[in-house]
Amino acid sequence: MKRNWKRNALIVCCLSALALNQTACSVIDEDTDDCRAEYDATYELHLITNEEHEINRVLGDGSEVAMPLRNEIADALREHLKDVFGYKGRDLDLSFYDLNGFLARTHQEEHNMEGQPVKHVYLSLPVGEYRHVAAANIKDNGEASFYRYDQNWHEAALKLSLDGPAPLFDGSFTPSFGFPWQEGIDRDLPSDYIPATSVGSMRTGMFTGRRDLISPSYGSYKEYNELKVRNEYTFTQPLYIANSAAAIILDPRSAKFSDVQVFTTGFATRFTPADSVYHFDELPLVKAETVKLNNTPWMCFCTVNFPSREANRQQSMAPTRADVRMGLDNSDNPPYRIDTDEPFLYEDCGKNIWRYEVYVKLKDAKESVTRTVLNIRHPLRAGQLKIIKAYIDDQGVIRLYDTELGVAVDLQWQTGWIFNPVIG
């Protein structure tokens, strides 16, 4: 009997210890290393864009372009930008940074959104406090990629790859990058100056979002009522687009030329989701892609890039017009996309914010090149498309149908077609 009593007491002690271990997560705050919190998370792409409004504004009427051609150009632009101003999710990166340390990344997951604008994810994280950033459609972007995401919250960024050589200068010339704030945009640059580094056009519309994520059973969150705790276990995270696009439509008329190259510049090179800030470390040229048009001599070029500066020098925010209410009842316009024609999109700030650079190689004896700089005074924000309509005259100058832009022209810009910047 005495031996049986000792054995039964040992069993009771073991069961008590096991029960204590199972409830330790909710009893002892300091001992949560092995405890996990389960979350039911929904990630949604929210695209607020002026794409349709801009296409209709430029191509919807006007005598310069016949109706069949307007329709062809509009359809070609939509096709070219379908992976940018669309709401089909591809790759989804979820990163979690420890709020109680130096905001180092402690957990990361990758998911496939399978072409859908919504992704449901079940998360299992150690109980704790996190800053969480989600990013979609980054892997196939071609130009921007994750930068120091594996380091910490503050350094994590989407960044252009700028690996080309630095511009070379002779000893008498010191470059002054007053652009885009000085009206004399080329005042301090020699007429044949081109940055040695340029980048290609982005291929996808990138979406990001962030939130603080604190386990309901952690620390002060225990003081919240039951409803609050339930809400913390289930959350929906909207993701907003972080890039934009610019296009130029050119009527060749009677001009004789052998080549046309189009670039844009004045845009951000890096975006940090921690504070939704765009950084303008450099001002590389963005090389435009040709938008395929059939059965017409007209041409269309397009770049996809980060947004431009704002007129007041403040960094623009990625969740552009995030407070716009989603339209839930329109089956042709799902709740993740709104095409807007709000007037805030096009105010003239009075300063040259960004620009097009167009180079036309003429069919003359010298094969001279005419360079036209088109200065834009309207900020290009996340989710926006800006289209310009123009024609090429016999000297290779870009002549605008619109009078809202400032224009600078260099005739016989340089001898020969030696314009060949390095694509980073």
Which structural domain, as residue segments, surrounds residue 362?
36-423
**Token pair for residue 248?**
């130029």
Evaluate whether residue 4 is within a structural domain. Answer: no
User: Is the pLDDT higher at 17 or at 339?
Assistant: 339
Residue 107 pLDDT greater than 80, yes or no: yes
What is the CATH number for 356? Answer: 2.60.40.2100
Asked whether the whole model's pTM tops 0.95, one would answer: no
pLDDT at 378: 83
Evaluate whether residue 14 is within a structural domain. Answer: no
Task: To the nearest 10°, report the CA torsion of 16, 17, 21, 27.
Answer: 70
Q: How far is CA 342 from CA 50, 60, 260, 294, in A?
A: 8, 17, 34, 33
For residues 30 and 28, give the distance between their C-alpha atoms in angstroms, rounded to a whole number.
Answer: 6
| Residue-by-residue DSSP string for 315-380 | PPPSSTTTTSPP--S-TTS-TTEEE---GGGG---SS--EEEEEEEEESSTT--EEEEEEEE-S--
**Token pair for residue 287?**
């090389």
User: Is the pLDDT higher at 35 or at 271?
Assistant: 271
Evaluate whether residue 27 is within a structural domain. Answer: no
Share of the chain above pLDDT 70, in %: 66
User: Is the pLDDT higher at 196 or at 24?
Assistant: 196
Q: For residue 344, which phi and psi values (nearest 5 degrees)? A: -60, -15
Q: Of 83-97, 120-134, 255-269, 366-380, which range is least confident?
A: 366-380
Task: Identify whether the C-beta of residue 61 lies closer than 8 Å to the C-beta of residue 74.
Answer: no
pLDDT at 171: 34
DSSP structure class, residue 291: P
Half-sphere exposure of 387 (CA within 13 A, CB side): 23
Cα–Cα nearest to 89, from 153, 157, 135: 135
User: Is the pLDDT higher at 139 or at 322?
Assistant: 139
pLDDT, average across residues 119-142: 93
Evaluate whether residue 16 is within a structural domain. Answer: no
For residues 131 and 221, give the distance between their C-alpha atoms in angstroms, rounded to a whole number.
Answer: 16
Evaluate whether residue 15 is within a structural domain. Answer: no
pLDDT, average across residues 288-309: 93
DSSP structure class, residue 4: H
pLDDT, average across residues 313-321: 44
What are the pLDDT digits (tens) for 150-188? 989 989 999 998 765 444 333 332 333 333 333 333 333
DSSP structure class, residue 100: T
pLDDT at 7: 42
Q: Is 266 exposed, middle or buried (0-12, 13-18, 19+ CB in 10 A)?
A: buried
Evaluate whether residue 10 is within a structural domain. Answer: no
Instruction: Give the CA diameter of the chain.
Output: 116
**Token pair for residue 365?**
């004896």
- Split into its structural domains, the chain has a count of 1
Task: Identify whether the C-beta of residue 134 lies closer than 8 Å to the C-beta of residue 239.
Answer: yes
Report the SS3 class of residue 113. coil
- Amino acid in the structure at residue 284: P
